[in-house]
Amino acid sequence: MSDAVYMSKDGALYPRGRNKPARPVNSGGGSGGVAIYFSTVKERTNPAVLNGNGNVNGYIAVFTLPDTNVQSVTYSFPGLANHAETNPPFDFLGGDATNQALLWDTTTLLDGAHTVTASIVYLNAVTETVTATFNTNNPSVVSHVAGAPRNAVATAGVGLVMLDWTAPADLGVPTLTGYRITSNNGYNATINNPSAVSTAISGLPTTTVTFTIRAINAGGESIATNFNAVTPDEPYVAGQQPASSSYPNAAVTGWQPTGVTLLAATSGTMSISGGNVTLDRLNHTGVIEYRGTGILTIKRSRLVNPSNWVVRRYSGYIVIEDCELDGNNKGGGGAIVYNNYTMRRCNLHHFAEGPRIAGGNVVIEDSWLHDMVQVGANHTDAIQQVSGANSRIRRNRVDCYNPVTNLVGNAGFMFGSDNGLTSDVIVEENYFNGGNYTINGGGSGTTTAQAIIRNNTFGRKFRYGIKSVPGGVTWASTNVWEDNGQPVPGGAIVSQSTWSGA
């Protein structure tokens, strides 16, 4: 299977085992026996066949009845994005955390005929297309505009502003369809998503700006709500050492700045195979494993650690971008393991061990690693490499020091040839703070690890020193202190630390 999109909602992916009974024939709908149904309640009770129904109005749930022979159903409808379901009962708009259907507001449709299309894939790889044509006949309503958005807060980031708000108390009639955001410097954009509660606006100059937001429905626009005035931070320029506040932070990492709404929470081990696969908008507690032959892309998601790690690659390649990785104050095996992966624009926090590299071919970039925790006698490393070549760690903010617990951890980047030669490693343009030695190249006492460490900025929350590296490491004079821009010396420099602890 290639280029599949899985949007899990009710739990682990639907089982795909052997010895399944043959799929039914001629039980309604297409030749495979699957039809499209609707119900007027989210519990899907008293379902009726949607096709040919001329009495549809108000809010309805659309779905196919559970069929043990169905692998997935992808719905399409003019004006809506295609939606794929891999869990029965295969809801048209998806389901919530309690396995109840999300309802479709048919009052937004013109009266008359409409057609929903369902592309069905069976366990035996047979495919089928089923359509349902129905008529809407909604009573006319008197429209009124929505109330003003509430709790508008603006937060400055690097060359951008993060806007957060709460929906109006009165969603209007017909209901809310989106928002319009403007600013005093000419910005004007519409968000066609009534569920949106945040957005990131990038490419801004470092001048003070004030944004406003209006709710939109068929009745018009609400009165404006003003955000607080903010001034974006100076954009980062490669090769320069900005202040730590200009490195990745909450405004530019994780799923929140993308403006998406996560799917219903799921849990358990999710094992993915096949070719190229994309997981989007997950809210998942458990391990995601890839055993495929292509690229697994996990994006705009929240991944919560169940015990040791959240993502593990067995084959293929993994790309994790715009995700929040919540360590859940657990783990000693590494947040992501072990090789052939890219982590980009991620917000990783509360892990005992951050990304682990064993085997190489890893990129960690534009991410924020912070609030590391101590679990038992674990040596807390924000990033650790024990073997492999071709690793790139760049433009990250790596806070091994935890200001809440006052623990410095073991290292911001721990590396060595513990399990094989470590070579062709480049660590550049990052901000590091914390660790016994912030950059520690003495893994298992090895002296053969090879790395280039350049153009990095360092804070002073460490126990012994900034670097303890073997002879195969190139340490550039462009590695400097955050507070004065001076080159960082080697060896034990306890007197230059501002950390005080046991």
Could you read off the pLDDT of 350-392 as tens digits, one per residue?
999 999 999 988 999 999 999 999 988 888 999 999 999 889 9
pLDDT score recorded for residue 256: 96
Q: Let me know if 349 is exposed, middle or buried by CB neighbors in 10 A (0-12, 13-18, 19+).
A: buried
**Closest by alpha carbon to 401, among 356, 359, 433?**
433
Top pLDDT among 22 and 218 is at 218
Q: Judge whether residue 63 has pLDDT over 60.
A: yes
* Residues 173 and 219 sit within 8 Å (Cβ to Cβ): yes
Q: Judge whether residue 29 has pLDDT over 50.
A: no
Q: Which amino acid is at 4?
A: A
**To 5 degrees, how large is the angle CA 301–CA 306–CA 311?**
50
Q: How confident is the model at residue 25 (pLDDT cuts 50, 70, 90)?
A: very low
pLDDT score recorded for residue 285: 96
Q: Judge whether residue 38 has pLDDT over 50.
A: yes
Check the CA dihedral 181-183-187-188 and report its sign: positive
Count of residues for the chain? 502
Q: Which residues pair with 82 in a beta bridge?
A: none
Mean pLDDT (whole number) for 150-157: 81
Cβ–Cβ contacts within 10 Å for residue 235, how many? 16
* Residues 309 and 284 sit within 8 Å (Cβ to Cβ): no
pLDDT score recorded for residue 16: 32
Mean pLDDT (whole number) for 166-186: 90
Mean pLDDT (whole number) for 395-420: 93
Q: Judge whether residue 439 has pLDDT over 90.
A: yes
How far apart CA 202 and CA 200 sit, in angstroms, is 6
Give a three-class secondary structure readout of 242-267. CCHHHCCCCCCCCCHHHCCCCCCCEE
**Closest by alpha carbon to 99, among 182, 208, 10, 39?**
10
Q: How confident is the model at residue 161 (pLDDT cuts 50, 70, 90)?
A: confident
What mean pLDDT value characterizes the chain? 85
Top pLDDT among 9 and 177 is at 177
Which range, 69-73, 218-222, 252-256, 443-447, has the best average confidence (pLDDT)? 252-256
Q: Judge whether residue 111 has pLDDT over 90.
A: no
Q: Judge whether residue 19 has pLDDT over 50.
A: no
pLDDT score recorded for residue 172: 82
How far apart CA 130 and CA 116 sit, in angstroms, is 8
Q: Within 13 A of 347's CA, how many CA atoms are on the CB side?
A: 18
Q: Which amino acid is at 420?
A: G
How far apart CA 10 and CA 66 sit, in angstroms, is 13
Residue 296 structure tokens: 């697994």
pLDDT score recorded for residue 436: 94
Span 45-59, pLDDT tens digits: 999 999 887 678 888
Q: Which residues pair with 321 in a beta bridge?
A: 299, 344
Least confident of 93-107, 216-230, 488-502: 488-502
Q: 137 in the Ramachandran plot: left (φ > 0), alpha (ψ -120 to 50) or beta? A: beta
